[in-house]
Every structure is written in C-alpha cells, then in structure tokens.
A = this chain, B = another copy of it.
Amino acid sequence: MSVDLPVHVSLAGQTVSVLRELVLTGEIAAGERVNEVGVSQRLGISRGPLREAIRHLASEGLLVLTPNRGARVPQLTPEEVRALFELRTALECAAAALAAQRRTEEDLVKMRGAVIRARTGLTTGEFPYRLDLAFHQALMDAARSPLIAEQVRLVQQRVILLRASIEVAFSHEQASIDDHEELITAIDARAGDRAAEIMSRHLDRVRDQLLT
C-alpha cells in the first residue's frame, strides 16, 4: 500500500517552479537580468540550486545564457516569433492528426467541455489564455503522444512569455474559439488531414495577433 506523501523535492526542483512562475507572470520582465547572488539570497538558498534551476529554464527557452554574464529573460524578435510558430505548427498539426485517429468519446467530451468553459469565461473575464490552453491540453491528451505533448508544452510556455506583455482583443479570442469548434468537428469525423489544416490556419492567426 503506497501512500505517496512527503515526496522530498530538491531545492533545485522547487526553485525551478518558483523561477518559472516569476518569469511567466512577467514579474521578471523580458530583457531583465537574473542576478545569481541577489535571487539566491531573496529565495534563501545558495547559488548552487539556483544555478541548476536557471540552467533548466534556459534549456526550456525561458531564459537565455551569455557566458560570464548570466541569464536574462529573452525578448524575441518578430523573426524569432515566426520561427517559434513554425515549430509549434509542426508539433500541433501532427498532434491534431494523431488526435483524429486516436480520440475516444471521452476525449471529445473533454474538448467540448473546454470550449464551453472558454465561451462562458469570455464573458466572466477570466484569463483567456488559460482557457485556450485547456483546449489544447485536451487535444494533446487525445493524441496520446507523450513526447510531442511535452514539446508542445515547452513551446506554449514560450508563447505565454510573449503574451505577458501583450493585450489580446476580444474579437480574436472569439475567432480562436470558433477554430476550436471546427477542430472538434474534424477530429470527431476522424479527418486527420483536415484537422491539421484547421490547426495550421488557427496558429497562423494566433501568430499574426501576437505580431501586431
């Protein structure tokens, strides 16, 4: 009988979570440098675990390292944003196609639920991108491809980093939800190619929103 309780998480592991939140919420702004001694003292730990956390986030693309000059939060150029979305499109289109092959009825229920919550959330003024992510997450679950899912998660994180400094218009959110419904229809019909196409158009639109 295994009661998985006081899982001792290393300081480095905890620090990864803390730092990630600081970066994603914009508390550490884009372009800002991460001072090792300063942050380690502020967190009450030594530099070792903090360094590990910094390196970890750098490997996720949430920080960029410069030799002898430490880490800073990246501010992407439009060209880099386009490259990021080429990667995202490759991954999520493939996932959409796989989801069309592998989805169960339960997967469809979850995806529809995410869309409904997004529609109601639009009016109640919840964080829109959280609701958007919930749908994409449900779709990834349906695709049943753990490695693609992990890479999608990493890319989406970097997109959130972009959004930290951008306001997205209401009409755009509306259009995204419409895309999601189209996607569900295609995945329901097991039309993989069409699902991939819709996803591609969807992500092109999202990218252009972020580039304005």
Contact = CB atoms under 8 A, between A and B. Distances in A.
A83 B52 contact: no
Interface residues of A, number: 28
Contacts of A9: 67
Nearest to A84: B147
A147 B10 CA distance: 31
Count of identical protomers in the assembly: 2
Given A55-B56, A56-B55, A67-B10, A87 B48 contact: no
Interface of A: 8-10, 13, 48, 51-52, 55-56, 59-60, 67, 83-84, 86-87, 89-91, 93-95, 98, 145-148, 151
10 contacts: A10-B67, A55-B55, A59-B60, A83-B145, A83-B146, A86-B94, A87-B91, A90-B91, A90-B95, A90-B148
